[in-house]
């Protein structure tokens, strides 16, 4: 059973801090998130924090693009050892949302980041990239709000040029995290309520309807081969960031992290026999970034 070891607020210096990711790179921690005046505003930039021990954090960079709301930053490490930062890039006109396209930025050290580069066409959003055998895989979600949505699986060798693979034909397909199992199967945790899995060449998929709604999905496989997921989930206390036991066909919440309201979008790293989880929440003053440690 998972047990909460500790939780700490690691950033609260902006009006709205949200949509985190977490990674270990060259023996250091990196946490990234969007900072802005509110949940949906045209002024989003990406802040990068680093830490040597996970306790003391410092800001080392801000990634921005003039006139673009950068959102949902996701970190990965390329086959040649660089950091890759994948983001959504939204455009507003007169304060109203107009369109979007993904952005990517690279860094050799986590401190200096290349100017964001636009990817694919308008309306795409490559939400998270996962590398496997020299290729990055990501699901792009198309469509807004309550309108019809489509999800297209892409792959890339460089994080810049993406090749279409297949379509996820499930209603409302949205934010998706992809992971690879030791046998090569790909598993997908999909907002609003699905788990999918596929074997090479990852063009034919089987989906399970979870019958519950999740937001900001992420999951990892622990050394004992079990899958554990995080998501925003409706509890008796309202929306919370939960840790759930997961299989290829099930999602079972086991632990609610200190959280509430506008929350979730966690980064997850297994390190030193603990599951480290970055997430955001508005259960205290403001909307802030937290780091939790969980033991099993």
- Nearest 10 degrees: CA dihedral of 253, 258, 263, 264? -50
Q: How many CB atoms lie within 10 A of CB 235?
A: 13
**101: domain CATH number?**
2.120.10.10
The pLDDT tens digits along the chain (296 residues) read 999 999 999 999 989 999 999 999 999 999 999 999 999 999 999 999 999 999 999 999 999 999 999 999 999 999 999 999 999 999 998 888 999 999 999 999 999 999 999 999 999 999 999 999 999 999 999 987 667 789 999 999 999 999 999 999 999 999 999 999 999 999 999 999 999 999 999 999 999 999 999 999 999 999 999 999 999 999 999 999 999 999 999 999 999 999 999 999 999 999 999 999 999 999 998 999 999 999 99
Structural domain containing residue 254? 3-295
The pTM is what? 0.97
Between the alpha carbon of residue 232 and those of residues 2, 100, 192, 267, the distances in Å are 17, 24, 10, 13
What is the rounded distance in angstroms from the CA atom of residue 55 to the CA atom of residue 63? Answer: 23
Q: Which residues contact 240 (CB under 8 A, 6 or more apart)?
A: 232, 233, 256, 257, 259, 260, 263
Question: What's the structural domain count of the chain?
Answer: 1
The residue among 82, 64, 65, 105 whose CA lies nearest residue 23 is 82
């Amino acid at each position: 059973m998972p047990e909460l070891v500790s939780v700490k607020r690691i950033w609260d210096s902006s009006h709205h801090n949200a949509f985190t990711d977490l990674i270990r790179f060259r023996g250091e921690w990196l946490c990234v998130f969007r900072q802005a005046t509110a949940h949906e505003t045209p002024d989003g930039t990406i802040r990068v924090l680093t830490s040597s021990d996970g306790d003391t954090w410092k800001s080392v960079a801000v990634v921005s693009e003039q006139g673009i709301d950068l959102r949902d930053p996701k970190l990965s490490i390329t086959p040649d050892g660089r950091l890759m930062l994948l983001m959504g890039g939204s455009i507003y006109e007169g304060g109203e949302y107009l369109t979007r396209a993904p952005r990517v930025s690279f860094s050799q050290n986590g401190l200096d980041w290349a100017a964001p580069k636009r990817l694919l066409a308008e309306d795409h959003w490559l939400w998270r990239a996962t590398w496997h055998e020299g290729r990055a895989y990501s699901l792009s979600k198309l469509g807004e709000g309550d309108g019809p949505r489509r999800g297209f699986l892409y792959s890339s060798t460089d994080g810049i040029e993406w090749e279409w693979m297949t379509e996820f034909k499930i209603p409302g397909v949205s934010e998706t995290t992809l992971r690879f199992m030791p046998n090569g199967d790909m598993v997908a945790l999909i907002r609003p309520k699905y788990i999918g899995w596929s074997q090479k060449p990852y063009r034919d998929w089987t989906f399970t309807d979870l019958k519950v709604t999740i937001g900001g999905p992420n999951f990892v496989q622990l050394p004992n081969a079990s899958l554990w997921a995080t998501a925003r989930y409706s509890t008796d206390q309202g929306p919370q960031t939960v840790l759930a036991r997961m299989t290829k066909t099930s999602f079972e919440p086991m632990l609610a992290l200190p959280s509430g309201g506008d929350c979730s979008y966690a980064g997850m790293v297994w390190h030193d026999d603990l599951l480290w989880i970055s997430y955001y929440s508005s259960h205290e003053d403001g909307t802030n970034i937290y780091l939790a440690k969980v033991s099993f």
